[in-house]
Structure 1
Amino acid sequence: MSSHRLAVIVLAAGQGTRMKSDLPKVMHPLAGRPMIRHLIETVQGLSPEKVVVVVGPGMDCVAEEVAPLTTAVQSDRLGTGHAVAQAKAALGEFDGDVLVVFGDTPLITRDTLKRMLAERRGPKQPAVVVLGFKPADPGHYGRLVVGAEGLKAIIEWKDGNAEQRAIPLCNSGVMAIDGRRLWRLVERLSNDNAKGEYYLTDVVALARGDGASCSFVLGEPEELLGVNSRVELAGAEAIVQRRLRLVAMDNGATLIEPDTVWFSWDTKLGRDVVVWPNVVFGKKVQVGDGVTIKGFCHFEGCTIGDGVEIGPFARLRPGAEIEDDAHIGNFVEVKKAKVEKGAKVNHLAYIGDARVGAGANVGAGTITCNYDGFDKSFTDIGAGAFIGSNSSLVAPITVGDGAIVGAGSVVTRDVTPGALAVARGNQMELAGWADRFRERKKAEKAKS
């Protein structure tokens, strides 16, 4: 046997009826990506020669998600053994190890799978290695029957007696199987059981009947959580988020109140980043070193340079690029725009489809009017420019380097570098008008 060859069969044909969803169960997201992708990334880290994903009929979205991996279709859902059999045409005869994992168990770790493979490749070379665990509530899980000679059998809960159901060691379903034996074992599975299904778990008894040994490895209950309902999905999300927070802190970020910070699977934080409570990182966010992010900010599809200060209550949308030492303040929204080095957009502003030049200052309440109902247009604010509060910059428009826009202006034409642009109605004053108005109103009220 070539002891270091590996293939993986991923069982992902479950309908997930308890999800009450039109979306296949394994496509429901954890930390912003389908749970099947979490599992695929884990197994690919083992460098398998082949991965076959078994899907159900009509699950084109799953096949597209795992592409270019090979998929096989389980048209009739007749149990886990039947599901594995559907991978035979794609996998063929294989003389290495075959891992069988489940698409709805996305939290399993690479270290656990490595321990299974180490056991499979160890001195005893068991035909089957099963991943077991001891949950707080064993419930209706299958039970592992073990003895001095190793794993003796797996008993499904519905087929077990009272003594067997009392066993605390449960079956996760994950297996490492000798590829030379796999198909001979699967072909002999029977559906003579309480559910009328072909149980993959029966390969243990078949292998032992052939004179081969079987073994098990103990895993943590948390990583073997199966996701079959929205409640379990929420539980899995909590576990993923906790893992991501630990990674962020281990890599040098400070999370003031970690449980309130939510990450995407691909969030990248630099060193000495400080994140205040209630911050959400969506997909494709990269944060440089020494950044301070104050509370209640939301980021997606953006890059943040070194030394930036953001928030509170800031929103960076896709295409936002915040360069080093810039400031993005409270209730500021940036979309598809570059805020260059040292620029400040500190209060109640919207910057969309724009450039804010290095060292520029955008006053409170300023907006770039980038959409005319049909097209988006660009606003270019030059380096060192100063935009007064409550200004509207109607794109397409350029404000030159060092120019000043007076507060309250609606600017519709380009502003030359170094100029002052003021575009607002002239202030008018009528002396004594307010006093006369009040007296007249008081008199009218007295008569009524």
Structure 2
Amino acid sequence: MSERRVCAVIPAAGRGTRLGHDLPKIMIGLADGVTVWDVLHRRLRPPARHVHVVVSPAGAGPFGELVAGTPGVSVSVQERPTGMGEAIFGAAGHWAGYETILVVWGDQANLSARTVRRVVAAHPGEGLTLPLVPMEDPYVEYELAGGELVRVRQSREGEECRPGGLSDIGVFCLATAGLREAWERYAAGTAGGARGAATGEVNFLPFLTHLSRAEGWPVTVVPVDDPAEARGVNTADDLEFARRAYARCPG
């Protein structure tokens, strides 16, 4: 797929308070002069021509300064922490003109450039493409049957994930045609837009199930071998792991 047709969207409104930082997690350092953002940006472009980042009001100033003047990068603000879905679709004006969006969580410091290339190459130009990896103890679990995504279990919403289940790596490739309208139907509750039991959010991950089951979108799965790619930067241990991994493989 041509890079002219792909926009990466990074919801990054969270702060690194659990890591002892008051900055957006995407700005946390992995090495001298290298932040999580630097690593993500390098590994996303190419194949993404444009990268759009959604930050919190508190993060807008610091992150805006970090990326000022960077070609092919734009920033918007999520005024209230209402969930990843609202962050992504609130920024639709920045990605709607592309044929495909590559949604990437803002703390996926262990994501490899090879996986990004594989996902974009595998995306058929319609539906959704999901890189998935088996995990001993998944935080999120994807259940598929007959090429259909039937359920996404989320530990954060009090749902039990099964040992050895398939987890995402914080990367989701979706066609943009009809995507915003499908989200509006889902979020309005007319087609299954239930709020999470624990967070009360209209979650993005169950929306993927809605796309598959209610909207009939085809699902392409890209197998990922290394479970480390699923590890975001949420704790001090995660950060130390990401720093060691970057030191071994900075590319």
TM-score over 0.5 for the pair:
yes
Equivalent position of 2:16 in the other structure: 16
Give the 3-state SS of the residue equivalent to 2:178 in structure 1: helix
Contact 1:3 1:96 in 2 (8 A): no
- Structure 2 counterpart of 1:169: 166
Q: Deviations over 1:403-423 (max 9, x none)?
A: xxxxxxxxxxxxxxxxxxxxx
Match of 1:155 in 2: 153
**1:223-270 CA-partner distances (Å, limit 9, x unpaired):** 2320122221111111111114xx8xxxxxxxxxxxxxxxxxxxxxxx
Instruction: Report what 1:182 is aligned to.
Output: 179
Aligned-residue offset at 1:166: 4.5
* Matched letter for residue 99 of structure 1: L
Displacement of 1:171 after TM fit?
2.5
Q: Going by fraction, where is strand more abundant, 1 or 2?
A: 1
Cα distance in 2 for residues equivalent to 1:101 and 1:235: 19
* Residue of structure 2 in register with 1:231 after alignment: 237
User: Structure 1 134/23 Cα, relative in aligned 2: closer, same or farther at 3 Å?
Assistant: same
Residues 100-115 of structure 1: pairs in structure 2 closer than 5 A: 100-115=103-118
Conserved 8 A contact 2:111-2:169: no
Matches of 1:106 and 1:161 in 2, distance apart? 26
The code of the aligned residue for 1:154 comes to: V
CA distance 1:15–1:229, change in 2 (3 Å)? same
* Deviation digits for residues 193-220 of structure 1 (CA, Å, limit 9, x no counterpart): 2121121112222212112222322222
Name the counterpart of 1:267. Answer: none
Alignment match of 2:223 (pick from 212, 218, 223): 218
Distance 2:91 2:74 in 1: 9
List runs of 5+ in structure 1 lacking aligned partners.
Answer: 248-448
Q: Which has the higher helix share?
A: 2
Structure 2 vs 1, CA of residues 150 and 105 (structure 1 numbering), >3 Å: closer, same or farther? same
Percent identity of paired positions between Structure 1 and Structure 2: 27
3-state SS, counterpart of residue 53 of structure 1: strand
**Aligned equivalents of 1:79, 1:143: Cα separation in 2:** 19
Distance 1:176 1:8 in 2: 9
SS in 2 for 1:184: helix
Deviation at 1:178, TM superposition (A): 0.4
The residue type paired with residue 130 of structure 2 is V
* Cα displacement string for residues 297-356 of structure 1 (whole angstroms, at most 9, x for unaligned residues): xxxxxxxxxxxxxxxxxxxxxxxxxxxxxxxxxxxxxxxxxxxxxxxxxxxxxxxxxxxx
Q: Which has the higher contact order (CA 8 A, sep 6+)?
A: 2
Gap change, CA 1:120 and 1:166, over 3 Å in 2: same
The answer (yes or no) to whether the contact 2:129–2:219 under 8 Å persists in 1 is yes
For residue 150 of structure 1, report the CA deviation from its aligned partner.
4.2
Counterparts of 1:10 and 1:192 in 2: how far apart (Å)? Answer: 22
Q: Secondary structure, in 3 states, of the residue corresponding to 1:175?
A: strand
Change in CA separation of 1:172 and 1:229 when aligned onto 2, cut-off 3 Å: same
TM-score by length of 2: 0.84
What residue number does 1:75 align with?
79
Does the 8 Å contact 1:226/1:232 carry over to 2? yes
- Asked if the contact 1:2/1:95 (under 8 Å) is kept, the reply is no
Contact 1:7 1:97 in 2 (8 A): yes
Distance in 1 of aligned mates of 2:76 and 2:170: 19
Count of paired positions: 237
Q: How far is the alpha carbon of 1:38 from its aligned partner?
A: 0.8
The equivalent of 1:142 in structure 2 is: 140
Label 1:12 to 1:107 Cα distance change in 2 as closer, same or farther (>3 A): same
1:235-246 to structure 2, matched below 5 A, reads 235-244=241-250
1:84 is aligned to 2:88: yes
Where 1:180 maps in the other structure, the secondary structure is coil
Q: 1-side partners of 2:221 and 2:230: how far apart?
A: 15
SS of equivalent residue, structure 1 residue 153:
strand
Segments ≥4 residues shifted beyond 4 Å:
1-4, 158-162
Bigger Rg over Cα: 1
Given that residues 11 and 53 in structure 1 are in contact (C-alpha distance below 8 angstroms), is that contact kept between their aligned partners in structure 2?
yes
1:118 to 99, 121, 129: 121
Confirm or deny: 8 A CA contact 1:144 1:169 kept in the other structure.
yes
Hey, what's the Cα distance between the residues in 2 that align with 1:113 and 1:150?
Answer: 22
The amino acid of 2:242's aligned partner reads A
Other structure's SS at 1:58 match: helix
Partner of residue 190, structure 2: none
Distance 1:27 1:95 in 2: 26
Corresponding position of 1:206: 210
Q: 1:168 to 1:88 in 2, by over 3 A?
A: same
SS state at 2:242 partner: helix
CA-CA distance at 1:142 after TM superposition: 1.5
String of CA shifts for 1:255-294, please: whole Å, max 9, x gaps: xxxxxxxxxxxxxxxxxxxxxxxxxxxxxxxxxxxxxxxx
Residue 366 of structure 1: aligned partner: none
